[in-house]
């Protein structure tokens, strides 16, 4: 039977291409790190020409869902000819070993970087076909072209373009968190929600490799892409160019005119100081201000918002001579991201061991291209009137700079 009647069936993406991906609502942390308030999908696709190719698989736990979708679509006896492995992270490669047992003649299409990983993860060495950048595979009725896109997200990551259907299987690029709850296309779902989750995925998982994302976007620039079919989240068929341009902006570190204020505070004193700077920015006309309590809001949402906006004000109390642990954690994540073109304000609070400001300044230096704004603020225990005045000065200075960059 042809699919499309329920989320348990294959759903046609475009002529000869079917979504056979799965919804994962059971995993609470992606990569055992990132919260999934509305789950995540692993998108696999079947391309049906004279030969049949499966593009990527799903996390091992969901193998039965994948296979039952394929069998309901193709019938029990029809085998798959090729498996294209765009990426070896186990959220996509986890079903390879057993699929190869189910379909012993399956040929695995991958690149030179993938081969050793197939062996090390799954002891798969038979029936592996290595392709080079730009090489094509004719399925009969569909021609697949392979673009190597190393480090978007791992060294072996590649994208597969169906020249016939003008559909790009982009793997992690352009993908995001969130299950597909009935709708699977950008014109069927609330994209304002998914775009936030695509940015959270990009900033936390791929963002460090922004230069390689830029290289991938240039490599694809001459290609006529009508459908972007990523390996997580909705399929972009109504505005494929929109998601590519968002990725282009994010990976060029182009920011929006707004600021994030993050505080680490046990008893509320540091928080009050931080909020004073947020209030000052609002009075100066900055509309986009997000205040995060580093203890309550997961770091992935904080990083997502920091990626989006040009300004960051970081406020930390002192904890056993160190910055407050969630702020330390955030700073370590941010240092790893190699972010550019951003403005930073810092505030510290201590009671008996000075030194917090120096630690925040070190972060400003180590994280590379953040511009540190004046005044830097340090208070003792609780904010006094003159401390609030300085917090307001910092907020105003940030607002001034944000307005300049907004043109």
Which residues here bind ligand FMN, judged by CB under 6 A?
265-271, 317-321, 349-353, 381
Q: What's the CA gap between 70 and 59, in Å, rounded?
A: 16
CA dihedral 59→65→163→225, nearest 10 degrees, is -70
269's contact among Fe ion, ligand FMN, none, with CB below 5 to 8 A by partner kind, is ligand FMN
**DSSP at 105:** T
Min dist CB 80 to Fe ion, Å, is 21
255's contact among Fe ion, ligand FMN, none, with CB below 5 to 8 A by partner kind, is none
Binding-residue total with Fe ion (CB under 5 A): 4
Min dist CB 384 to ligand FMN, Å, is 12
Q: Dihedral sign, CA of 397, 399, 403, 406?
A: positive
89's contact among ligand FMN, Fe ion, none, with CB below 5 to 8 A by partner kind, is Fe ion
Q: What's the CA gap between 290 and 262, in Å, rounded?
A: 8
172's contact among ligand FMN, Fe ion, none, with CB below 5 to 8 A by partner kind, is Fe ion
Q: Is there a cis peptide before residue 375, judged by omega within 30 degrees of 0? A: yes
Min dist CB 311 to ligand FMN, Å, is 21
Tokens matching residue 325 = 């642990």
Q: Does 172 bind Fe ion (CB under 5 A)?
A: yes
Q: Dihedral sign, CA of 235, 13, 147, 33?
A: positive
Q: What's the CA gap between 176 and 185, in Å, rounded?
A: 13
Min dist CB 30 to Fe ion, Å, is 8
Q: Which run of H or of E encompasses 41? A: strand 40-42
317's contact among ligand FMN, Fe ion, none, with CB below 5 to 8 A by partner kind, is ligand FMN
Min dist CB 381 to Fe ion, Å, is 45
Candidates 153, 200, 310, 342: give the one binding Fe ion (CB under 5 A). Answer: 153
44 or 265: CB nearest ligand FMN? 265
Beta bridge pairs of residue 159: 147
Q: Does 91 bind Fe ion (CB under 5 A)?
A: yes
359 or 401: CB nearest ligand FMN? 359
Min dist CB 173 to ligand FMN, Å, is 40
307 or 324: CB nearest ligand FMN? 324
* 99 within 8 A of 125, measured Cβ to Cβ: no
91's contact among Fe ion, ligand FMN, none, with CB below 5 to 8 A by partner kind, is Fe ion
Stretch that binds Fe ion, among 9-17, 84-92, 213-221, 312-320 (CB under 5 A): 84-92
Stretch that binds Fe ion, among 145-153, 181-189, 272-280, 351-359 (CB under 5 A): 145-153
266's contact among ligand FMN, Fe ion, none, with CB below 5 to 8 A by partner kind, is ligand FMN
Q: What's the CA gap between 201 and 296, in Å, rounded?
A: 20
Strands ordered across the beta sheet of 107-110:
11-14, 17-19, 45-48, 52-55, 82-84, 107-110, 128-130
Min dist CB 264 to ligand FMN, Å, is 8
**DSSP at 164:** T
132 or 352: CB nearest ligand FMN? 352
Q: What's the CA gap between 94 and 65, in Å, rounded?
A: 13
Query: At 195, phi and psi to the nearest 5?
Result: -60, -35
Beta pairing class for 128-130 and 136-138? unpaired
Q: Does 197 bind Fe ion (CB under 5 A)?
A: no
Candidates 9, 24, 89, 197: give the one binding Fe ion (CB under 5 A). Answer: 89
| Coarse DSSP helix, strand, coil percentages of the chain, rounded to the nearest 5 percent | 35, 25, 40
* 221 within 8 A of 322, measured Cβ to Cβ: no
* 159 within 8 A of 169, measured Cβ to Cβ: yes
37 or 354: CB nearest ligand FMN? 354
Min dist CB 165 to Fe ion, Å, is 22
Min dist CB 38 to Fe ion, Å, is 16
151 or 215: CB nearest Fe ion? 151
Binding region for Fe ion (CB under 5 A): 89, 91, 153, 172
């Amino acid at each position: 039977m042809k699919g499309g009647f329920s989320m348990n069936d294959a759903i046609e993406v475009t002529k000869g291409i079917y979504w056979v991906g799965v919804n994962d609502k059971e995993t609470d942390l992606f990569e055992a790190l990132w919260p999934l308030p509305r789950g995540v999908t692993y998108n696999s696709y079947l391309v049906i020409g004279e030969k049949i190719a499966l593009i990527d698989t799903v996390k091992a736990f969901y193998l039965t869902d994948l296979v039952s979708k394929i069998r309901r679509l193709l019938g029990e006896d029809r085998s798959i000819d090729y498996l294209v492995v765009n990426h070896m992270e186990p959220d996509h490669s986890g079903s390879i070993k057993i699929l190869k047992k189910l379909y012993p003649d399956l040929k695995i299409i991958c690149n030179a970087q993938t081969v050793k990983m197939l062996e090390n993860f799954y002891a798969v060495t038979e029936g592996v076909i290595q392709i080079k950048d730009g090489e094509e595979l004719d399925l009969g009725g569909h021609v697949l072209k392979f673009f190597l896109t190393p480090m978007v997200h791992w060294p072996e990551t590649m994208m597969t373009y169906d020249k016939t259907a003008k559909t790009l299987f982009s793997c992690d690029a352009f993908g995001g968190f969130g299950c597909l709850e009935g709708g699977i296309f950008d014109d069927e779902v609330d994209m304002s929600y998914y775009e936030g989750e695509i940015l959270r995925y990009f900033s936390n998982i791929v963002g460090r490799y922004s230069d390689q994302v830029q290289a991938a976007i240039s490599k694809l620039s001459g290609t006529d892409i009508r459908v972007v079919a990523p390996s997580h989240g909705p399929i972009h068929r109504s505005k494929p160019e929109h998601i590519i341009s968002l990725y282009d902006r994010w990976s060029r570190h182009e920011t929006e005119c707004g600021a994030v204020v993050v505080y680490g505070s046990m008893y509320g004193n540091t928080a009050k100081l931080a909020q004073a700077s947020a209030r000052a920015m609002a009075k100066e006309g900055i509309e986009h201000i997000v205040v995060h309590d580093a203890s309550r809001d997961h770091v992935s949402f904080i990083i997502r918002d920091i990626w989006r906006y040009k300004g960051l004000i970081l406020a930390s109390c002192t904890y056993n001579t160190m910055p407050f642990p969630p702020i330390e954690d955030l700073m370590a994540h941010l240092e790893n991201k190699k972010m550019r073109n951003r403005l930073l304000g810092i505030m510290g609070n201590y009671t008996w061991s000075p030194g917090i400001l120096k630690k925040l300044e070190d972060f400003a230096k180590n994280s590379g291209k953040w511009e540190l704004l004046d005044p830097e603020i340090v208070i003792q225990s609780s904010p006094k009137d003159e401390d609030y005045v300085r917090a307001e000065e910092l907020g105003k200075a940030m607002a001034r700079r944000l307005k300049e960059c907004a043109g």
